[in-house]
Amino acid sequence: MRLTKHLVTLAILATMDPRFLPHNTHLIDAKRFAETDPQLAHLASRPLRHQSSLLDELPSGVPGIYSLSGGRQIGKSTLLKQWMAKLLHQGVKPEAISYFSGELIDDHHSLVMHLENQLETGADNGVQFIILDEVTYVRDWDKAIKFAADAGLLAHAAFMITGSDLAFLQDARMRFPGRRGQAQRVDFHLHPLSFREFLQLDNKLGQLDTYLEELSRMPENLIESVYEAFSRYLLHGGYLTAINDLAEAHTIRRSTFATYSDWIRGDMLKRGKSETYLREVLGAIVKRYGTQVTWNALSRDLSVDHPRTIADYVTLLERMDAVTVLPALLEHKLVAAPKKARKVVFSDSFILHAVRAWLTPVDDPFSQHVQSALADPLWVSKLIEASVACNLRRFHPTFYIKGQGEVDIAYVRDDQFCPIEIKWGNQLRPKSIKQIARYSNGEIWRRQRSVGEVAGIRALPLPVQLLRVGTEFM
């Protein structure tokens, strides 16, 4: 039996393109996979390590075509390696698991060849787990997958494809109808760490969760620790590289800022976009951060002379998971109001910091951009409002309300919208809550640490309330 298994492994190693071998070290020694794999070894070397809750939801034995989306440098490859390690721990044979990088596969012909080789030499019974990371690098990738599915090659395979362009998910749904498999969930989206996930790194959530159902019972020392953590979250957002930089060096390295700004610039250039226009569009987003904008108004201020060009750039940035577009809510239909202005924010506060460091180069981006922004009450308010909106958007359709006045955020749940006004300043003017006072279920998320009421509107401590997002307590 051991000889047969050894021969199968040798056959896979002999037929696999050697460029893929660094990501398939489990075939050489499954017990040392966590030590020899580049992503897992790098993660183990950092002071803070995260395991996404998605790991428990990824397939464990149901054949099908699955997808994992999310922006670049977010940790998709690391999550996939953690999944591989979990499968090995569960007893899946090493030869039944394979990892391919789309960056090394030219076209659909090459992809079919790699799939056929793996399926022929892999485990001869049970489900095979095949991972194709960054599938959109492969020219006409969908043709290969459609061919493989129609030919029955994937009948006993859990085939996971990943991409950093969120549009590839729509392609998968549209081009593979009836071929995705029987699993209840086949599409997964990896985000930067939420504020709740960031607190998990310090193992504090267990104690905090006991108080989330009744916030007024939370001890002052715990509330204070949540506020301190929230201040740090605004510095680094949910990107683990930046989080670890601060943990190790008490700063965020210039190389980390460059990694994320280079990702945005590089991906836009690959799509044939102008770096000059990109710089202008990103500068306009920063300048009008969190305010209502229209493409027509932006086009009048930029050298980009057509509103559709600006809309195209913003759409691509949204597909890359770099920005989030918050439309106005059409209240009676619970959908976006197509003719009203939008708000455009970055999908994570660290992306904003990285973009500002690229737009205005300085010697020390952390102190000169990040810390200076956190010392500016106006910028703090903008960062907080965007962070709340982006945390909510992971679980609910999220908008803002434009009526006679404005409500910062409105998310839809259980066929109704829930309006939220963000108030981080010390002063609260009656005019600023005039619109939200119209709604019986409106809430004010505020800087003050107590639960109370303002003009009859329920008022809650914002960072503590943010911990409840996505849980049963909201």
How far is residue 190's CA from residue 78's CA, in Å, rounded to a whole number? 11
Q: Which tokens in the block code for residue 124? A: 């001869």
pLDDT of 1 strictly over 50: no
Considering the domain architecture, whether residues 145 and 49 belong to the same structural domain is answered as yes
Q: Which residue has the tokens 């989030």?
A: 324
Q: Residue 182: is it exposed, middle or buried by C-beta count within 10 angstroms (0-12/13-18/19+)?
A: exposed
Cβ atoms of 346 and 285 within 8 Å: the answer is yes
Considering the domain architecture, whether residues 221 and 333 belong to the same structural domain is answered as yes
Considering the domain architecture, whether residues 177 and 295 belong to the same structural domain is answered as no
For residue 85, what are the domain limits? 2-189
The confidence score (pLDDT) of residue 406 equals 92
Considering the domain architecture, whether residues 75 and 127 belong to the same structural domain is answered as yes
Decide if 472 is inside a domain.
Answer: no
How far is residue 396's CA from residue 410's CA, in Å, rounded to a whole number? 10
How does 282-309 read in b/e, with b if 16+ C-beta sit within 10 Å?
bbbbeeebbebbebeebbeeeebeeeeb
Considering the domain architecture, whether residues 184 and 154 belong to the same structural domain is answered as yes
Kindly indicate the confidence band of residue 13, based on its pLDDT and cuts at 50, 70 and 90: low
The number of folded domains in the chain is 2
Kindly indicate the confidence band of residue 204, based on its pLDDT and cuts at 50, 70 and 90: low
| pLDDT tens-place string over residues 332-347 | 999 999 889 999 999 9
How far is residue 229's CA from residue 225's CA, in Å, rounded to a whole number? 6
| Helices 349-359 and 275-287, axial angle in degrees (round to 10) | 120
Which domain-ending residue is among 167, 189, 211? 189
How far is residue 33's CA from residue 88's CA, in Å, rounded to a whole number? 9
What is the average pLDDT value for the chain, to the nearest integer?
A: 90
| pLDDT tens-place string over residues 278-336 | 999 999 999 999 999 999 988 888 888 789 999 999 999 999 999 999 999 999 999 99
pTM to 2 decimals?
0.92
Considering the domain architecture, whether residues 73 and 15 belong to the same structural domain is answered as yes
In single-letter form, the type of residue at position 457 comes to: I
Decide if 298 is inside a domain.
Answer: yes
The confidence score (pLDDT) of residue 158 equals 94
Decide if 268 is inside a domain.
Answer: yes
Which domain-ending residue is among 169, 189, 209? 189
Cβ atoms of 387 and 233 within 8 Å: the answer is yes
| pLDDT tens-place string over residues 384-396 | 999 999 999 999 9
Look at the chain and count its residues. 474
Cβ atoms of 20 and 132 within 8 Å: the answer is no
Which domain-ending residue is among 189, 221, 237? 189
Q: Which has more confidence, 120 or 54?
A: 54
| pLDDT tens-place string over residues 234-250 | 999 999 999 999 999 99
Cβ atoms of 343 and 326 within 8 Å: the answer is yes
Strands 443-446 and 452-454: unpaired
pLDDT of 427 strictly over 60: yes
